[in-house]
Structure formats: C-alpha cells, structure tokens
Amino acid sequence: MITKEEVKKLAQLSRMKVSDEELEQFAKEIDLILGYVEQIKQVSSSLDDKDVPSKNMLKNVMREDTHPHESDAYTKEIVSEFPKKSGNYLKVKNIL
C-alpha cells in the first residue's frame, strides 16, 4: 500500500500542489491502479505460448475492389459543391 508520504514525494517530483485531502484520495487511487497492474502481470505471465495465436494465422480481411467506378464519374458533382474553384480544383486560401 502506498503511503501519504510517498504520494507527497511524487507530487513534489511532479511539481504539483496537493492538499492533505487529496493525498488520501491519491493514495487510494494509486493503490487501486497498482493492484490492477499486478492483475494484468499475473494474467500475462500465466499465458502459455499455445494460447497466443501464431503469426501464420493472420490473414487479410480486406475485400478486393472488384467494381471500381469510372474515372471522372463524380467529378462534376463534387466540383459543383466547391465554394471556390479553379477548373476542377478546389481553391483555398494561401497557408504560407
């Protein structure tokens, strides 16, 4: 269990002002966090290599693009929605 003094030392190292009430609260919260990390360590150390899927089991889940639309099929519709345009290009303010 983390003590108030340890929390106070952490607060000083991080240059935070912490009241006595907050010290108590932070001590409890940090203790809960450390307990959770310990649980994760136990679970990860108990896993066997057979429980972890191998790299060979990975596969591509993307579909092939079998029916692409025709080139320039939607250009006129999209360009007509531009607030400012120059030919088929969107006109924007200079950035630099």
* Residue length of the chain: 96
Round the CA-based radius of gyration of the chain to a whole number and report it. 29
Among left, alpha and beta (phi > 0; psi -120 to 50; other), residue 87 is left
Q: Which residues of 27-62 are buried (b: 16+ CB within 10 A; e: fewer)?
A: beeeeeeeeeeeeeeeeeeeeeeeeeeeeeeeeeee
Model confidence pLDDT, tens digit, residues 17-56: 999 899 999 999 999 999 999 998 888 777 755 556 666 6
pLDDT in tens, 70-92: 777 788 888 888 899 888 888 88
In the three-class reduction of DSSP (H, G, I as helix; E, B as strand; rest coil), residue 55 is classed as: helix
**Domains recognised in the chain with CATH numbers:** 4-48 (1.10.20)
